[in-house]
Amino acid sequence: MNFDRNTVLGFTLLAVLFFLYFYFNSQEQAAFQKDKAIKDSIANALKPKVDSATARIDSIRIDSQQHVTKAGEFVNAAIGKEELVIAENSVFKIAFTNKGGQPKYVELKKFKNSLDNQYVKLAATKFNNLSYQINTGENKSTETSDLFFSNGKVEAGPNGSQLVTFQLNTGDSALSASAITHQYIIYPDDYNIDLNINLAQPAKFLSQGKMNLTWQYEVVQQEKDMNFEKQNTQIGYIEDNDFDYYTISRKSHVSFNKDVKWIGVRQRFFNAYLSAKNNFTGGEMNWVLPSDSSLHSIVKSTATMQLKVGSNQIPLNIYYGPADYNILKKYDNGYSKLVNLGQGMYAFVRPLNQYVIIPIFNFFKTLNLGFGIIILLLTFFIRLVISPLTYSSYLSGSKMKVLRPEIAQLKAKYGDDQQAMSMEQMKLFREAGVNPLGGCIPALLQIPIFFALYSFFNASLDLRGAEFLWANDLSAFDDPIKFRFHIPLLGSHLSLFTVTATLTSLLITIYGMSMSPDQSNPMMKYMPYIFPFFMLFFFNNMPSALTWYYTVSNLVTLGLQFVIQNYIIDHNKILAKIQETRKKPKAKSKWQERLEQMQSTQKDLQERQQKIKNKK
Q: Is the pLDDT of residue 606 over 50?
A: yes
The pLDDT assigned to 85 comes to 94
Can you tell me the distance from the alpha carbon of 320 to that of 92, in angstroms, rounded to the nearest whole number? 9
75 SS3 class: helix
Of 280, 137, 135, which Cα lies nearest the Cα of 215? 280
Q: Is the pLDDT of residue 6 over 80?
A: no
pLDDT class of 539 with cuts at 50, 70, 90: confident
The continuous run of DSSP H or E covering 271 comes out as strand 270-280
404-414 vs 387-402: helix crossing angle, rounded to 10: 50
The pLDDT assigned to 361 comes to 94
Beta strands in 62-209, from DSSP E residues, in sequence order: 84-88, 92-97, 102-112, 119-122, 129-137, 140-143, 150-156, 162-169, 178-186, 192-199
pLDDT digits (tens, 9 = 90+) for 475-525: 888 888 888 887 887 778 888 999 999 898 888 877 766 655 555 555 556
Phi–psi pair at 556, nearest 5 degrees: -65, -40
Can you tell me the distance from the alpha carbon of 261 to that of 281, in angstroms, rounded to the nearest whole number? 9
CB 411 within 8 A of CB 422: no
Of 122, 141, 277, which Cα lies nearest the Cα of 196? 277
The pLDDT assigned to 55 comes to 46
Phi–psi pair at 426, nearest 5 degrees: -65, -35
pLDDT digits (tens, 9 = 90+) for 292-324: 766 789 999 999 999 998 888 999 999 999 999
Can you tell me the distance from the alpha carbon of 513 to that of 510, in angstroms, rounded to the nearest whole number? 5
Of 281, 285, 279, which Cα lies nearest the Cα of 304? 285
Query: pTM of the predicted model, to two decimals?
Result: 0.77
| Comparison of pLDDT for 4 and 600, the residue scoring more | 600
Query: CB atoms < 10 A from the CB of 59, how many?
Result: 10
Burial of 259 (0-12, 13-18, 19+ CB in 10 A): middle
Can you tell me the distance from the alpha carbon of 490 to that of 488, in angstroms, rounded to the nearest whole number? 5
Can you tell me the distance from the alpha carbon of 321 to that of 111, in angstroms, rounded to the nearest whole number? 10
Of 367, 364, 372, which Cα lies nearest the Cα of 467? 372
CB 299 within 8 A of CB 248: yes
The pLDDT assigned to 251 comes to 85
440-459 vs 3-46: helix crossing angle, rounded to 10: 40
Residue 73: CA count within 13 A, CB half-sphere = 17
Q: How far apart are the first and last CA of the chain?
A: 40
| Residues whose CB is less than 8 angstroms from the CB of residue 67 and which lie 6 or more positions away in sequence, other chains included | 78, 142, 146
Can you tell me the distance from the alpha carbon of 365 to that of 374, in angstroms, rounded to the nearest whole number? 7
Domain 83-339: top CATH class: mainly beta
Of 453, 455, 454, 189, which Cα lies nearest the Cα of 327? 189
For residue 204, is it left (φ>0), alpha (ψ between -120 and 50) or beta?
alpha
Can you tell me the distance from the alpha carbon of 441 to that of 396, in angstroms, rounded to the nearest whole number? 11
The pLDDT assigned to 2 comes to 42
Residue 530 amino acid letter: I
pLDDT digits (tens, 9 = 90+) for 192-223: 999 999 998 888 898 888 999 999 999 999 98
Beta bridge partners of 216: 129, 302
CB 211 within 8 A of CB 182: no
pLDDT digits (tens, 9 = 90+) for 323-374: 999 999 999 889 999 999 988 888 899 999 999 999 999 999 999 899 999 9
The pLDDT assigned to 64 comes to 59
pLDDT digits (tens, 9 = 90+) for 8-65: 555 566 556 655 655 555 555 555 555 555 555 555 555 555 455 554 554 445 455 6
- Mean of pLDDT over the chain: 80
The continuous run of DSSP H or E covering 442 comes out as helix 440-459
The mean pLDDT value for 4-8 works out to: 51
Of 98, 97, 94, 129, which Cα lies nearest the Cα of 108? 94
DSSP-derived secondary structure for 142-175: EEGGGSB-EEEEEEE-GGG-EEEEEEEE-SSSTT
The pLDDT assigned to 290 comes to 84
Can you tell me the distance from the alpha carbon of 486 to that of 476, in angstroms, rounded to the nearest whole number? 18
The pLDDT assigned to 485 comes to 80
The pLDDT assigned to 444 comes to 73
Domain boundaries, the chain: 3-24+350-476+543-590, 83-339
